[in-house]
Amino acid sequence: MSVTEQAPGVVLKSRFTTADSRSFQNYVDYVDREVATMKQDGANKMFSLYQDYMSDQEKTSSLFTKESDHLSKADKGKMKSLFEQAQSNGSVMWQDVISFNNDWLAEKGIYNPKTGSLNEEKLKDVVRKSMHNMQEKEGLSGSAVWSGAIHYNTDNIHIHLAMVEPNPTRERGKRKPLTLDKMKSTVVNEISNRQPHQERINDMIRKHMVHGKQKNSTLRFRNRELKEGFLQVMKQLPADKRQWQYGYSTLNPVKKQLDQLTTDYLKKYHGQDLQSLNKMLDKEVLEIKKAYGAGPKDSFRFDRYKQTKLDDLYKRMGNGFLTEMKEFAKDQEHMKKLAYRSDKWQTAYENSRTYQSLRQASYHMGRDYEDWKEQRAYEQLQRDIDQSKERE
Which amino acid is it at 97? Answer: V
Inside any domain, residue 156: yes
Residue where a domain terminates, one of 193, 216, 236:
193
Inside any domain, residue 5: no
Do 9 and 291 touch, CB atoms closer than 8 A? Answer: yes
Inside any domain, residue 380: yes
| Same domain for 202 and 189 | no
| Same domain for 150 and 27 | yes
Q: Which residues contact 289 (CB under 8 A, 6 or more apart)?
A: 3, 4, 302
Give the pLDDT of residue 240.
94
Angle at alpha carbon of residue 40, lines to 36 and 45, rounded to 5°: 100
Give the pLDDT of residue 354.
44
Inside any domain, residue 1: no
Angle between helices 271-292 and 305-351 (to 10 degrees): 140
Average pLDDT over residues 67-72: 87
Q: List the one residue out of 174, 147, 150, 164 whose CA is nearest residue 14.
A: 174
Give the pLDDT of residue 146.
95
| Same domain for 203 and 187 | no
| Same domain for 188 and 210 | no
| Same domain for 187 and 209 | no
Give the pLDDT of residue 346.
59
* Of 138-142, 156-160, 242-246, 292-296, minimum mean pLDDT range: 292-296
| Same domain for 170 and 206 | no
CA distance 297 to 274: 30
Most confident of 41-55, 294-308, 335-349: 294-308
| Same domain for 78 and 35 | yes
| Same domain for 311 and 359 | yes
Neighbour-count burial for 251-263, b at 16+ CB within 10 Å, e otherwise: beebeeebbebbe
Which residues on neighbouring strands pair with residue 164, listed in sequence order?
145
Give the pLDDT of residue 57.
44
Q: pLDDT-derived band of residue 77, with 50, 70 and 90 as boundaries?
A: confident
Handedness of CA 59, 62, 63, 66 (dihedral sign): negative
Give the pLDDT of residue 35.
34
* Of 70-79, 169-178, 234-243, minimum mean pLDDT range: 70-79
Residue where a domain terminates, one of 143, 177, 193:
193
CA distance 90 to 217: 68
Residue 216's CB is within 10 A of a number of other CB atoms, namely: 16
| Same domain for 227 and 146 | no
Give the pLDDT of residue 41.
33
pLDDT in tens, 159-201: 989 999 999 999 889 999 999 999 999 999 999 988 888 899 9
Give the pLDDT of residue 347.
61
CATH number for 102: 3.30.930
Over the chain, what is the mean pLDDT? 81
Q: Inform me whether the pLDDT recorded for 353 exceeds 50.
A: no
pLDDT in tens, 79-134: 889 988 999 999 999 999 999 999 999 999 999 999 889 999 999 999 999 999 99
| Same domain for 117 and 95 | yes
| Same domain for 241 and 184 | no
Give the pLDDT of residue 274.
93
Inside any domain, residue 385: yes
Inside any domain, residue 361: yes
> How much of the chain, in percent, has pLDDT values that exceed 90?
49
Inside any domain, residue 2: no
* Of 30-39, 129-138, 170-179, 378-387, minimum mean pLDDT range: 30-39
Give the pLDDT of residue 212.
84
Give the pLDDT of residue 388.
58
Q: Is 279 exposed, middle or buried (0-12, 13-18, 19+ CB in 10 A)?
A: exposed
* Of 3-7, 22-26, 119-123, 292-296, minimum mean pLDDT range: 3-7
Average pLDDT over residues 304-314: 93
CA distance 180 to 13: 9
Q: Inform me whether the pLDDT recorded for 1 exceeds 60.
A: no
CA distance 369 to 367: 5
Q: Inform me whether the pLDDT recorded for 52 exceeds 50.
A: no
Backbone angles phi, psi at 100, to 5 degrees: -120, 150
3 state SS for the chain:
CCCCCCCCCEEEEEEEECCCCHHHHHHHHHHCCCCCCCCCCCHHHHCCCCCCCCCCCCCECCCECCCCCCCCHHHHHHHHHHHHHHHHCCCCEEEEEEEECHHHHHHCCCEECCCCEECHHHHHHHHHHHHHHHHHHHCCCCCCEEEEEEECCCCCCEEEEEEECCCCCCCCCCCCHHHHHHHHHHHHHHHHCCHHHHHHHHHHHHHHHHHHHHCCCCCCHHHHHHHHHHHHHHHCCCCCHHHCCCCCHHHHHHHHHHHHHHHHHHHHHCHHHHHHHHHHHHHHHHHHHHHHCCCHHHHHHHHCHHHHHHHHHHHHHHHHHHHHHHHHHHHHHHHHHHHHHHHHHHHHHHHCCCHHHHHHHHHHHHHHHHHHHHHHHHHHHHHHHHHHHHHC
Residue where a domain terminates, one of 166, 193, 220:
193
Domain that residue 305 falls in: 196-391
Give the pLDDT of residue 373.
54
Report how far Cα 241 is from the mean position of its chain's Cα atoms: 30
| Same domain for 283 and 173 | no
Q: What is the count of structural domains for the chain? A: 2
Inside any domain, residue 3: no
pLDDT in tens, 326-342: 988 888 887 777 766 66
